[in-house]
Amino acid sequence: MNYEVVVTCAVTGAGATTERHPGVPVTPKEIADAAIESAKAGAAIAHCHVRDPETGKGSRDPELFREVVDRIRDSDTDVVINLTAGMGGDWVPDKDNPAMPGPGTDMIGPIERLAHVKDCLPEICSLDCGTLNFGDGDEIYISTPPTLRKMAELTKEWGVKPELEVFELGHIRFAKQMISEGLIAEPPMFQICLGIPWGADQSVDTMKVMKDELPTGASWASFGISRMQMPMAAAAVVMGGNVRVGLEDNLYLDRGVLATNGQLVERVVEIIEKLGARVLTPAEARKKLQLRGA
């Protein structure tokens, strides 16, 4: 059981959720406001993607990240900023010639994937620890060992804590290899990602198996998607972990009731407190996770 819980709110993501929920943040102002809203509701960490303000689609434009980060930092609300570094790994084979990239492909190298992280220097950035079939289409998310090693090396140099996002057991295996090579500063920080097609399923049994494979001394959190967001959050706390909620992973507060980020944080805070634990402040989270400047 974890009695001192760090809550992360993933406020927007990069998926096509704007088509199903008009309240998903799109512009830098909306994303920053959502991060601030989540902090006021009890989240210690705000995990931020950015979107093209015109189309609503996921973006990796460093200028958009800069505006989001500046707006959060200029506010009077303390929150740990966690920027995604997962954009730029999308491969869709061309239908006529599968050896070539087709529409929707966005493949870049490790330095470019981290351009916004170098510019903004958040306290945390995500590091997706492997390749994954993403959904039922032809899209593959690609993160190769050389790419990940270079990204780990750079984030360590900059003092940014990598949140090691693991979608299946092989990702944990490679993350531990990077730790053994000295590429990840101690203590490592993991996010067990459950329910994403076609990664690990979202169940208590799966979470336990993955949690048991983490290295000794690692901090960890987990999340489930859609209707399993809150059950997986409760399971993570009971198993000794931290939690993540937010509109990136789930659009609903209750059946048929669209949520805000703040409402999802409030709901998980209520669950955590009913389990007999308490939610940590951003300052306490920095100390617990041993973030830069804590």
Task: Note the pLDDT tens digit of each residue in 8-46.
Answer: 999 999 999 999 999 999 999 999 999 999 999 999 999
What residues contact residue 16 under an 8 Å CB cut-off, 6+ apart?
A: 57
pLDDT bucket at 223, cuts 50 / 70 / 90:
very high
Q: Measured in Å, how far apart are the chain's first and last C-alpha atoms?
A: 24
CB atoms within 10 A of CB 244: 30
Mean pLDDT of 115-143: 96
Please say if the pLDDT value at position 56 is more than 90: yes
pLDDT bucket at 91, cuts 50 / 70 / 90:
very high
Which residue from 66, 74, 58 is spatially nearest to 26, judged by alpha carbons?
A: 58
Query: Alpha-carbon distance 202 to 228, whole Å?
Result: 7
Please say if the pLDDT value at position 65 is more than 80: yes
Which pLDDT value is given to residue 157? 97
* Contact between residue 244 and residue 268 where contact means Cβ atoms under 8 Å apart: no
What does the DSSP assignment read for the chain?
A: --SEE-EEEE---SSGGGGT-TTS--SHHHHHHHHHHHHHHT-SEEEE-EE-TTT--EE--HHHHHHHHHHHHHSS---EEEE---TTEEE-B-SS-TTSB-TT-EE--HHHHTHHHHHH--SEEEEE-S-EE-SSSS-EE---HHHHHHHHHHHHHHTPEEEEEESSHHHHHHHHHHHHTT-SPSSPEEEEE-S-TTS---SHHHHHHHHHTSPTT-EEEEE--GGGHHHHHHHHHHTT-EEEESTTT--EEETTEE--HHHHHHHHHHHHHHTT-EEPPHHHHHHHHT-TT-
pTM above 0.85, yes or no: yes
Query: Alpha-carbon distance 193 to 243, whole Å?
Result: 11
Record the tokens describing residue 147, joined without a space: 């790419």
Mean pLDDT of 88-96: 96
CATH H-level superfamily of 4-289 = Aldolase class I (3.20.20.70)
Which pLDDT value is given to residue 293? 72
pLDDT bucket at 250, cuts 50 / 70 / 90:
very high
Please say if the pLDDT value at position 73 is more than 80: yes
Report phi then psi at 261, rounded to 5.
-60, -40
Which pLDDT value is given to residue 215? 97
Which pLDDT value is given to residue 68? 98
Which pLDDT value is given to residue 197? 94
Which pLDDT value is given to residue 71? 98
Please say if the pLDDT value at position 294 is more than 80: no
Mean pLDDT of 107-132: 98
Rounded percentage of the chain residues whose pLDDT exceeds 90: 98
pLDDT bucket at 286, cuts 50 / 70 / 90:
very high
What residues contact residue 63 under an 8 Å CB cut-off, 6+ apart?
A: none
Question: In one letter, which amino acid is 264?
Answer: L
Q: Whole-number mean pLDDT of the chain?
A: 97
pLDDT in tens, 143-173: 999 999 999 999 999 999 999 999 999 999 9
